[in-house]
Every structure is written in structure tokens, then in C-alpha cells.
């Protein structure tokens, strides 16, 4: 057990370069930031009011808690913007250590404007008052970390921290916009979007679906089927999409333009062998 603790602590305590100097976020971007926070799944882990939430409590694996996101005691909007940038683009805390189960390997694709908009919205929220428990790792999670497992659990390990965020995100319902949005899907559906084992959700998480044309059931969906599934959580055959693992409620708050762009991109993907459940 001494080896397990020491080896897991080595991964947990590793620091990453995430120096950033930003101005206070433009308050005029707050409305767009609220849209992004809702549609990018932030509330799934940080709670409906972004006041914190216990995401996983499965010992002996771990207890993972999404921390409150609003302004902290004595924190300025500028400091919050820098904190949000470090978390979203680098996946690290103020000490430069990786956040736990934070999907920053996907959020690293967000543009600087998107991060600023999200920061502007979060800075407008009231401070959280209710205390929440802290995250803690049980022996199973530590054993997996010690032996090189839980790939993606510490997302800072998977990010190229030398690459700055792009200035502006693509728009207009285009293939390029769809490709930008699809980066948020790769944490569960894998970089090739062919699905497989998720690093998020704990040991009970199912295989993520194959979103490429080789999944015949998904390939039979129309654009309207896709938009309806993301809005209602129902597949064309009427079966329910498990919202515990597939954040359709969040994704469904994206605009028709965004969902259509994502559909265009998914339809362009090369055929890959993977999990077939849409």
C-alpha cells in the first residue's frame, strides 16, 4: 500500500505549465456564457446553480465533487477569469496540479472568447453558501493511478500545454463549426469518435457509442432524429438515452445551428469499428 500511495501521489502532485495573465471578462458576454455553461455540460458536474455537486460517490473507488464555480472570497473577476482559463484550457488548479475527472482535454479546444464568456457569466453568480464535501480517492482509484490506469482521469496529462487557445470559434452551421464542437465529444467517444471505454463516470460507466458511419443504427438516423434525440433523450425507436453518462440535457440546449453543424461533421467521419449502441 505504501507503493500505491506514493505512486498515485506522484501523479496527483505533478505540476504543469499554465501561466496566464488576462483582463477581467467583458460583462457583455455573460449571456453567451450562460448558454455555453448550460450546453457544454458544466451543470452536470457543478450543479444547476454551479454551487457544487457530488458527481461520484462509489467507494472503494472515489468520491468526486464538482466544486462551486462562482467568485471566491476576495477573488476579483480578473482572477476568476484566469482560474477558469487554467481549468478549462489546461485542466489544472491554482497550484498547477491536474483537476480530477475534469474534461479539460476536450475543453482545451474552446476559444478564448468562449472561455471569457463563460467567465463573465460565472463572475455574475452569487457566492455559494452551503458547504460541500471534498473529493477523495479510495484504494481502487489509487491502485489504478499507481499502475498507470485511469487514462484521462487527470486530463492535464493529455493536454499539450504549449498550445494557446484559438481566439474565436467557428460559426455559421459549417463543417468547421461541427469539428470544433465535436472535440467536446472525444472524452467519452474517443478521439476517432468510434466509442469505447470511458475514463469518466467511474467503474460502472458503459461503453460510449460509435458515432461514425460504421454504426449502422446511428447511420440510419436523420438530422431531425439527431436533433430530437439531443432535445428529448429519446432515440428514433423510442428507447431512452441514459442521461447519467450521455449529457443530452446539456447538449440539447445548444442552438439548432450548433447541432446541425455537429451533425454535418459526424456524417463526414471515416468508418471506424467501435461500440454500436447509439
Q: How far apart are CA 259 and CA 225, in angstroms?
A: 11
Is 209 a domain residue?
A: yes
Whether 273 is covered by a domain: the verdict is no
- 153 and 41 belong to one structural domain: yes
Instruction: Find residue 136's DSSP bridge partners.
Output: 63
Residues 149 and 36 in one domain: yes
Domain boundary among 123, 158, 193: 158
121 and 187 assigned to the same domain: no
In-domain check, residue 274: no
Q: Kindly state whether residue 262 falls inside one of the protein's structural domains.
A: yes
Do residues 16 and 152 share a domain? yes
Query: What pLDDT shows up at residue 47?
Result: 92
Give the percent of the chain with pLDDT over 90: 74
> Residue 117 sits in which domain range?
2-158
Residue 87 confidence (pLDDT) above 60: yes
Indicate whether 6 and 133 sit together in one domain.
Answer: yes
Residue 9, domain CATH: 1.10.760.10
Sign (positive/negative) of CA torsion 52, 57, 60, 62?
Answer: negative
pLDDT at 126: 86
Question: Do the domain assignments include residue 165?
Answer: no
| Residue 45 placed within a domain | yes
Confidence band for 277, pLDDT divided at 50, 70 and 90: low
Let me know: does 110 contact 182? Beta carbons within 8 Å. no
Query: At which of 158, 193, 219 does a domain end?
Result: 158
Distance (Å, rounded) from C-alpha 120 to C-alpha 35?
A: 12
Share of the chain above pLDDT 70, in %: 95
Among 158, 191, 220, the domain-final residue is 158
Residue 200 has pLDDT above 80, yes or no: no
What is the pLDDT confidence band of residue 202, given thresholds at 50, 70 and 90? low
pTM: 0.90
* pLDDT tens-digit readout, 23-53: 999 999 999 999 999 999 999 999 989 999 9
Is pLDDT at 201 greater than 70 in this prediction?
no
In a domain, 235, yes or no: yes
**CATH number assigned to the domain comprising residue 207:** 1.10.760
Same domain, 193 and 107: no
Q: In this structure, is residue 71 part of a structural domain?
A: yes
The per-residue pLDDT of the chain, averaged, comes to 91
- Better-predicted residue by pLDDT, 202 or 93: 93
pLDDT value for 118: 98
Q: Give the DSSP H or E segment for 53.
A: strand 53-58
Q: How many domains does the chain have?
A: 2
Sorting pLDDT into bands at 50, 70 and 90, what band is 203?
A: low
The cell numbers describing 229, all together, are: 434525440
Amino acid at each position: 500500500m505504501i507503493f500505491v500511495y506514493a505512486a498515485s501521489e506522484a501523479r496527483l502532485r505533478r505540476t504543469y505549465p499554465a501561466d496566464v495573465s488576462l483582463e477581467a471578462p467583458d460583462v457583455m458576454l455573460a449571456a453567451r456564457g450562460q448558454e455555453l455553461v448550460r450546453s457544454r455540460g458544466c451543470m452536470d458536474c457543478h450543479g444547476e446553480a454551479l454551487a457544487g455537486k457530488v458527481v461520484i460517490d462509489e467507494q472503494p473507488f472515489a468520491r468526486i465533487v464538482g466544486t462551486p464555480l462562482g467568485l471566491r472570497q476576495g477573488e476579483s473577476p480578473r482572477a476568476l477569469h484566469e482560474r477558469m482559463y487554467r481549468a478549462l484550457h489546461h485542466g489544472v488548479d491554482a497550484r498547477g496540479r491536474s483537476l480530477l475527472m475534469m474534461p479539460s482535454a476536450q475543453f482545451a479546444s474552446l476559444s478564448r472568447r468562449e472561455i471569457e464568456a463563460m467567465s463573465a457569466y460565472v463572475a455574475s453568480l452569487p457566492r455559494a453558501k452551503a458547504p460541500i464535501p471534498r473529493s477523495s480517492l479510495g484504494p481502487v482509484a489509487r491502485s489504478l493511478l499507481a499502475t498507470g490506469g485511469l487514462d484521462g482521469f487527470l486530463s492535464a496529462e493529455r493536454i499539450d500545454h504549449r498550445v494557446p487557445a484559438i481566439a474565436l470559434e467557428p460559426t455559421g452551421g459549417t463543417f468547421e463549426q461541427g469539428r470544433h464542437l465535436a472535440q467536446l465529444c472525444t472524452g467519452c467517444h474517443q478521439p476517432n469518435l468510434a466509442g469505447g471505454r470511458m475514463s469518466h463516470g467511474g467503474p460502472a460507466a458503459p461503453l460510449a457509442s460509435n458515432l461514425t458511419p460504421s454504426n449502422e443504427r446511428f447511420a440510419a438516423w436523420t438530422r431531425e432524429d439527431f436533433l430530437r434525440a439531443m432535445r428529448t433523450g429519446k432515440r428514433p425507436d423510442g428507447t431512452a438515452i441514459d442521461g447519467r453518462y450521455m449529457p443530452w440535457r446539456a447538449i440539447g440546449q445548444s442552438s439548432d445551428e450548433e447541432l446541425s453543424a455537429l451533425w454535418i461533421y459526424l456524417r463526414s467521419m471515416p468508418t471506424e469499428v467501435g461500440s454500436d449502441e447509439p
